[in-house]
Amino acid sequence: MKSTALLLGAGLALVPCAPTQATVIYGSLSNFDCINDTGFTAHGFEIELDGCTPSNVIATFGAPYNRYGDPSVTTDGTKTFVRYAATYSAGTSSWSIGTDTGTYAPTGGHSLFYELYGGTAGYPGTIPGDHFGIALNATLTNTVYHWLLDDGTGQLVQAGTSVRVPAPVFTVPAPAQPVVNVAVPAPPIEDPDHPLFGDAIWAKVFITTVENPEPVELHHLVLGDPVVPPDPETETEIEWVLLQTGLMNERSDDLNINAGNAAVTRRYEFYAYKGDYESESHEALNDAYDPLYVGDFLGNQNVAVNLIPEPATGTLLGGGLGLWLIGGRRKTRSE
């Protein structure tokens, strides 16, 4: 019998899911660089998760890789919160560390962590961004990301706008049905004045995937590592997709599983939409790709899926995997 491991984050561990024979295994992942464009120095970052409990958070990207170290994982009884935070000294009225605000060239991969571990030279310094990631064994219904700012009293509060870096969700059937689906959801509708359409975001999908004969570990999900798709300057197979709830709810691709490979990795980048919206409905009017409608770089994710034998002894050995088949789904426009 085989089970699967779904990978999340350039971080700490593989994510083994429960063995299965006839049921579908679900998993989600999030692995990204994020730029602080709030206009203020941030002193933390928070990932808000719907559809799981703290016990579903299997691993996190943290110490010793980024400036904030390991996050806390808490719940309010409904949502789960993964919070990266600096410490505040009341005596000196100062924070232990912070992330400057600013702009930054697209990283082209997961790089905003310490150079010692394969990250960016000079990090953290004045670099206005960081790398975050979590691993889950549950399927989320919604994910929201916020930079955390000082409210003036030494308390951290969420920045006024959320960071929109979609978390791809894997659906892994039983081994007898060797097709893996990966779906990237559009940002949810949050404005009650526009109930039909959410905010739009561009997804740059790197069609090329890397097949790996061995299972992939999380800390290899960084650009330049041989397990991930190549640098965008040498990448030729890409596709731009506008994601908007109500217009295109998700980008969905299928992966056929063939013998001979233990893992396959895919890469996504996300950019702001700066085209026009219909004034009343908030529908995006410029859904055909044009560089004029592509705004700031928001973040990226390298994602991978492993098929491995049942981890009865904790070892992770090779199973079978194959190549990606492209098949995005588009919801019909509302009339």
**pLDDT tens digit sequence for 65-81:** 999 999 999 999 999 99
pLDDT band, residue 258 (cuts 50/70/90): low
Q: Is 59 helix (H, G, I), strand (E, B) or coil?
A: strand
| H or E element in which residue 130 lies | strand 129-136
Residue 233 CB neighbour total at 10 angstroms: 6
pLDDT at residue 314 is higher than 50? no
Any idea of the CA torsion for 160, 34, 43, 156, to the nearest 10 degrees? 30
| Mean pLDDT to the nearest integer, 232-253 | 82
β-pair type (250-256, 324-325): antiparallel
d(Cα 177, Cα 327) in Å, to the nearest integer?
18
pLDDT of residue 44: 97
Instruction: State both tokens at 60.
Output: 């996190």
Token pair 């994710």 is at which residue?
Answer: 301
What is the per-residue pLDDT across 270-284, written as a single tens digit (0 to 9) for each? 899 999 999 999 999
Compute CA distances 285 → 190, 231, 244, 278, whole Å.
19, 31, 11, 6
Contact at 8 Å (CB) between 221 and 7?
A: yes
What is the per-residue pLDDT across 168-204, written as a single tens digit (0 to 9) for each? 776 665 554 466 777 888 888 878 888 999 999 999 9
Instruction: State both tokens at 279.
Output: 């004034």
Token pair 């000082």 is at which residue?
Answer: 150
pLDDT of residue 32: 78
pTM for this model (two decimals): 0.63
| Mean pLDDT to the nearest integer, 199-215 | 79
